[in-house]
Chains A and B, each alone.
Chain A
Amino acid sequence: RKEVEQDPGPFNVPEGATVAFNCTYSNSASQSFFWYRQDCRKEPKLLMSVYSSGNEDGRFTAQLNRASQYISLLIRDSKLSDSATYLCVVNLGSTGRRALTFGSGTRLQVQP
């Protein structure tokens, strides 16, 4: 079983749509959680951290359910510029000193 599993995608959605990505992780000792965005042939960039209480950053909302070991990302009012691969990422160390474990990513294509 993969340590971090994501929806396989790709998700093809029209501009303005709301889209949700899901992710599960296998290690219950995981301490911190993130969503990263990766554009084609580029390095991943941090989109947002994910907290147990859930958190929102503009059009993006992330949720964490530790009991179910489940993480989600909701994107509202999709823009063309949101087209990318979204990586679910967990970290065993809360201080950031442990390496990140990446999911395989879900590709989003927002269409005009």
Chain B
Amino acid sequence: GAVVSQHPSRVICKSGTSVKIECRSLDFQATTMFWYRQFPKQSLMLMATSNEGSKATYEQGVEKDKFLINHASLTLSTLTVTSAHPEDSSFYICSAIGLAGVYEQYFGPGTRLTVT
């Protein structure tokens, strides 16, 4: 099946710093990528929908100035957590769907962010 990678897989940063997470589709072109967040023992919650070449669409309650999303190419979307705080510590997962409207969404392996 299609492969989606995320980098880094794990990051620890200090409060107030910014962290960039990359999501790449390795063997297909992804017109749409989704960013999810999962807190311990909770379900995945959609943060935003990222379409190549256009602004991301954020879900209610997600601050667009804090979570910057860039989908500059058909194979790469980035999520930057700006001025991170301990409450931003979470598991961030991206998924991607392809040009042909591939039915299945392919998930990246996730990035575990810990803010100290």
Q: Which residues of B contact A (CB under 8 A)?
A: 32, 34, 36, 42-46, 49, 91, 93, 95, 97, 101-105, 107-110, 112
Contact = CB atoms under 8 A, between A and B. Distances in A.
Contact of B44 (A42, A45, A95, A102): A102
Contacts of A87: 43-44
Interface string A74-112: 000000000000010000000111011111110000000
B43 to A, nearest CB: 4
Interface of A: 32, 41-46, 87, 95-97, 99-105
A43 B46 contact: no
Given A97-B32, A101-B46, A103-B43, A44 B97 contact: no
A32 B97 CA distance: 15
Nearest to B102: A96
Contact of A43 (B101, B104, B108): B108
A102 B97 CA distance: 17
Contacts of A44: 44, 93, 107
Contacts of A100: 34, 44, 46, 95, 105
Contacts of A32: 103
Given A44-B93, A96-B105, A102-B36, 18 more contacts: A32-B103, A42-B109, A43-B93, A43-B107, A43-B108, A44-B44, A44-B107, A87-B44, A95-B103, A96-B97, A96-B102, A96-B103, A96-B104, A97-B101, A100-B34, A101-B46, A102-B45, A104-B43
A45 B44 CA distance: 13
Given A42-B110, A43-B109, A105 B43 contact: yes
